[in-house]
Amino acid sequence: MTVRVRFAPSPTGYLHVGGGRTALYNWLFARHHGGVFVLRADDTDIERSTPEFQVDILESLEWLGIDWDEGIVVGGPHGTYRQTDRTARYRAVAADLVASGAAYYDGATPEQLEQIRVAAEAAETSPVYDGRYRLSAEEAAARLAAGNPPPVRLAVPRPGETRFVDVVRGEIVFGHDNVDDFVILRSDGTPIYHLASTVDDVDYGITHVIRGEDILPSTPKHILITQAMGAPCPQYAHLSLLNGPDGKKLSKRHGDTAIRAYRDAGYLPAAVRNFLAILGWSPGTDEEIVSLETMIARFELGAVSRNPAVFDLAKLEWMNGQYLRAMSAQEFSDLALPLVETDLGRELTADERGTVIAMAPLIQERAKRLTEVAPQVRFLLNDEVTIEPGSWDKVMTTAEAPIALAGAGAALEALAVWSVDAIEAALRGMLAAAGLSAGKGLQPVRVAITGSAVSPPLFESLAALGRERSLARLAAAAARLA
């Protein structure tokens, strides 16, 4: 059997990090088994689906390094892989199920369904619709002929149960007393999600359905439709949802939840992919930095935890920093230069490019995200420095600040050679002479030179900025204090 899995996002929003993890697990499973990864668009929610969200899903998957063998854009033997193009197929299946007796046309009114709900609530039972208002063949034919088609419901066998083994969660049983005779085709001829998704899985030959546990209550419905179609059921694996650090379901209150937000915030795709992979799966080692090759070689659904995983942003930042430092200096500079030019709104000169490349390794040692690069070299590329108000208030309001600025200006002005070693010796001599600690004596210099209390190493920053601009900035800061 060739493994065939699918990722079927609805283009009604940006790709969520949880959806990214689901796509990644499907992709890793397919690649591990030499199978096929299918990407389809569950776009039957016409009112909420947009081309913008569809583009975001594709771009986010590509950014994560997830490619697909069949599906939207790339094509394959099953048409466009968009559900909106398969309505005729869903209607045909619904008609076949009615003809076989597995489904029926239903005549229940909203008022009658509400009565069932109220009665069940009073009896403290599940408000399950049991088909009591199903139409006879003659009644259904009359309504169809009059242009007033009724909805189609699946006839759930009662009494009975649906039992299956979830690859992640083990054996699961749903009693049919808690499963409606559910609608599969609306009166307007549009399919319900359960029908469209299941027909696609059958038609596309999907062998394993790997998806979030929020869909688990729908699984008995999908199994019943599959069985009614006379098709083999895929294996199911329901992944736990992601939680925030507070133990609650991950949502916008915890911060950004879209893949695109992490791309724009300066995270590397390899780091995000690694982070998502170990949110609920272990490669069998204690190491948290896992190469893509290792993921593919070791990924198995049996190693996926059924417990919720915590989306810890601090851990993602740490991991991203590890990936940044693992880059070569050339790779880091190649990523940094376009970001700096975008920040400045212009192209760098040859000298400026050389300056950025020279400073890049110092930033690479400390950076957690790529978005930290441009702010840390901005002071070198503008004639005047813009000092952050927060840094000024924190550092320049101390009694030591004017002493440090005056002493640093005098010590540096006396230098015959402007080099990192000479600058360090001069400033450390100033600290000793003034009786200042490095923190109290050098932070005011850092803010005056770079505009921020957080910057590349100070001595290297001064050397890169040059004598004239360095002395001018120290004098300007001292004057501002005075």
Give the catalytic positions in this structure: 252
String of b and e for 88-117 (b: at least 16 CB within 10 Å)? ebbbebbeebbeeebbbbbbbeeeeeeebe
Phi, psi of 77 (to 5 degrees): -80, 5
- Strands 103-105 and 152-154 turn out to be antiparallel
Q: Identify whether the C-beta of residue 271 lies closer than 8 Å to the C-beta of residue 320.
A: yes
Q: Identify residue 31 by its one-letter amino acid code.
A: R
Angstrom CA distances, 156 to 53, 232, 234, 235, 386, stand at: 36, 18, 20, 21, 70
Question: Is the four-CA dihedral 265, 271, 277, 282 of positive or negative sign?
Answer: negative
Q: Identify residue 476 by its one-letter amino acid code.
A: A
- At 43 the three-state DSSP class reads coil
Alpha helices (H) along 181-264:
193-203, 219-228, 259-264
For 402-416, give the DSSP string: HHHHHHHHHHHHT-S
Q: Is 248 exposed, middle or buried (0-12, 13-18, 19+ CB in 10 A)?
A: exposed
Structure token pair of residue 218: 């729908």
Alpha helices (H) along 243-305:
259-264, 269-277, 292-298
How far apart CA 327 and CA 325 sit, in angstroms, is 5
Phi, psi of 220 (to 5 degrees): -60, -35
Bond into 220 cis (ω within 30): no
Give CA torsion, residues 436, 440, 441, 443, to 10 deg: 170
Phi, psi of 281 (to 5 degrees): -135, 145
Structure token pair of residue 258: 């879209």
Structure token pair of residue 459: 């001595």
Structure token pair of residue 147: 């242009």
10 Å Cβ neighbour count for 65?
A: 13
